[in-house]
Amino acid sequence: MKITAFAGSNSSTSINRELVKSALEYFQDCEINFLDINDFEMPIFSVDREKKGYPDQAYAFRKAMEESDAIIVSMAEHNRSYTVAFKNILDWCSRIDMNIFCEKPMLLMSTSTGAFAAGNVMGLAKAMFPRCHAKVVTTFSLPTFEENFKDGKITDSLLLKEFETQIELFKKECNPEVFED
Ligand SMILES: Cc1cc2nc3c(=O)[nH]c(=O)nc-3n(C[C@H](O)[C@H](O)[C@H](O)COP(=O)(O)O)c2cc1C
């Protein structure tokens, strides 16, 4: 199984990237394509610019989604919304057509330094990604990252249990035969 993973952040110290990394530990047997959204930086989307066509990076991002069997993502929240870096990718890709995620099963996560765990952007993504043809199988949000995550792992036992439950649900949905108990 091929998994494409990314964090919705262009920060070199992204905590969402850390969370994605920790989820990928549960998929050791899979082929992983871990994207850095910095590699998909494009001019700020505008209806004027798109008249000249779409940047190669928009096609490359869509291709990465299309070529995966499943998608693991964690969204960073800036001012109660997507980061500009991710939203720009979403806008460019959506103008090619809305089928960005090709009905691939998605584990959708979020984390932030705050207690609401980037709940606003999680709400936005939960509503929007299915419109971009993601099959959002399950979600997980990690609050107050600094308190609950250390050395690549979730430290709070209840949150870890919830995280692992969601990972198992996702695995079963992705590939019921391979991941049967
Ligand atoms: C411009 C800016 C706006 C932010 N707004 C929010 C916010 O609305 N909600 C929130 O929970 N955290 C907010 N934060 C804090 C982020 O959760 C924190 O920077 C986190 O590390 C972002 O995730 P990342 O490290 O994966 O980029 C904001 C941070 C920045 C730089």
Q: What is the pLDDT of residues 14-71, one digit of tens each?
A: 999 999 999 999 999 999 999 999 999 999 999 999 999 999 999 999 999 999 999 9
Q: Rounded distance, CA 47 to CA 65, Å?
A: 24
Q: Does the C-beta of 10 come closer than 6 Å to ligand 1?
A: no
Most informative mutation of 16, 22, 38, 113 for ligand 1 (most atoms within 8 A of CB): 113
Structure tokens at 45: 């989307």
pLDDT of 118 above 90: yes
Look up tokens 């308190």; give the residue: 147
φ, ψ (nearest 5 deg) of residue 141: -125, 130
What is 2-174's CATH number? 3.40.50.360
pLDDT band at 178 (very low <50, low <70, confident <90, very high): low
Q: What is the DSSP letter of 18?
A: H
For residue 179, the CA-to-ligand 1 centroid distance in Å is 35
pLDDT of 162 above 80: yes
Instruction: Give the per-residue pLDDT at 175.
Output: 77
Most informative mutation of 20, 74, 78, 82 for ligand 1 (most atoms within 8 A of CB): 78
Whole-model pTM: value is 0.97
Q: Which residue has the higher pLDDT, 176 or 117?
A: 117
